[in-house]
Structure 1
Amino acid sequence: MIGIIGTGGHAKVILDIFQNSNRKQLFEFFTSSRSNIDPIFHAYAVYKDQQDILLQSHSRIKKWHVAIGNPLVRKSKIEFLQSYHRHVISAIHRQAILANDIHIGEGTSIMAGAVVNPSVHIGTGCIINTTVSLDHDCLIGEYVNIGPGSKLAGGVQVGSLTELGTGAIVIPNKTIGKKCIIAAGAVVVNNIPDGSIAMGVPAKVVAIRSP
């Protein structure tokens, strides 16, 4: 049995990944709001996402995945599960292409068509979306979201809790700091400091986020 925290769009993708790997796998879902749940989840048991309920389910749920797009919320949920020694698993689509020597942190999801090349390190709780390309020696921090179709050239470093929008491009050996937002379609040709919001071609910092 796999327990999945989240019932939004990202959770639908995670469910599909696990089902493609094992059609006989059983699931239970946990959500912050049981109203307006997508019909796809009606076939499964759905419980309130409360700490006591999560802990009480340990006898039947041996594996967990947090399927929530917001990186801060995802971080909170994963760290809670880890603090009680729950087994947090990654979700990797069978059509992702992965080099042999990469590192993938607990609770990370890698979608269909993603390519992860040699010597890439991906931290805990990341989302590597559809058709993302991570070239050799990229270092991806914890709880990073990389949007669909983004391309990171070799040696790129991305700090924890940073989000890259759809189709972002980063040229080789550039560093993007922690807690940044890189807009969709941006082309990063310079290092981006912590907490920056950057957009455009080439990407320019337009604001600094509050700590």
Structure 2
Amino acid sequence: MDKPVIILGAKGIAHPALEIFNSNQVIVYGFLDEDQSLYGTEINNIPILGNPEDEGFLKLIGKKTEAFVAVDDVKYRKFLVEMLVENRKVQPVNAIHERAYISTDAALGHGNFINAKVTIGAGAKVGSHCIFHTAVIVDHNVVIGDFVQIGAGSIVNADVTIEEGAFIGSGVTIVAGVTIGKGARVGAGSVVIGSVGKNETVFGNPAAKIK
């Protein structure tokens, strides 16, 4: 990556995103965040410059810098991604830790956060703007939609499909071949042995629907 990066967001995954770019010798120009109390402060010597919607900073994106959206909240993440695409005609870059392993024939979209020790196996297809926390394992031929978040240490076995906007907590095991529906939520530590419907929340071992 030749251009420096502006990180949109200064909380949550923003600090580890900075560490990821540092691990790849990519310069981070600064952070943008809606919390005005953070302006003028720094994260590991990188300044929080202003608001993500400030045209003075946005005009740099696409010409002089790349962008990465480091926001955990899915709705706000989608808003910022759409703003970048519509206003700047750019897609956020991927943030992939140098100690992640991605198979040579896995497919990745844009704007994904992939932390250290993540493994993405052969033939896996990952959409855009997903968050993979430390040591997530995505086995071969898994299909993951856009805006999916998977917690640290979770194991997604072969041929699983995780649809757009699903949230998988930390330490979850998803057995081979099941489908996690759009917007579904899987509680931390759960073992998922059957498919989960759209917008359902499941928890436990084996995971059961929470009403």
Q: Which amino acid aligns with 1:70?
A: D
The question of whether the paired residues in 2 share the 8 Å contact of 1:133 and 1:152 is answered with yes
1:53 positional shift:
4.0
Q: Which amino acid aligns with 1:52?
A: E
| Partner Cα distance (1:164, 1:11) in 2 | 20
4+ runs deviating over 4 angstroms:
36-39
| Partner Cα distance (2:38, 2:115) in 1 | 25
Q: Which residue of 1 aligns with 2:180?
A: 176
| Partner Cα distance (1:122, 1:203) in 2 | 24
User: Helix, strand or coil for the counterpart of 1:7?
Assistant: coil
| Partner Cα distance (1:173, 1:43) in 2 | 43
Q: Which residue of 2 aligns with 1:33?
A: 35
Q: Which residue of 2 aligns with 1:20?
A: 23
User: Would you say 1:3 and 2:6 are equivalent positions?
Assistant: yes
Aligned to 1:90, which of 89, 94, 105? 94
Alignment of 1:109-188 (within 5 A): 109-188=113-192
| Greater Cα offset, 38-47 or 139-148 | 38-47
State the TM-score, normalized to the length of structure 1. Answer: 0.91
1:28 positional shift:
1.7
User: Would you say 1:74 and 2:77 are equivalent positions?
Assistant: yes
The question of whether the paired residues in 2 share the 8 Å contact of 1:139 and 1:158 is answered with yes
Shift in alpha-carbon separation, 1:19–1:122, aligned structure 2, 3 A? same
User: Would you say 1:48 and 2:33 are equivalent positions?
Assistant: no
- Alignment gaps of 5+ in structure 1: none
- Alignment gaps of 5+ in structure 2: none
Q: Deviations over 1:32-52 (max 9, x none)?
A: 103157752554251112253
1:73 positional shift:
1.4
1:66 positional shift:
0.0
Identity %: 26
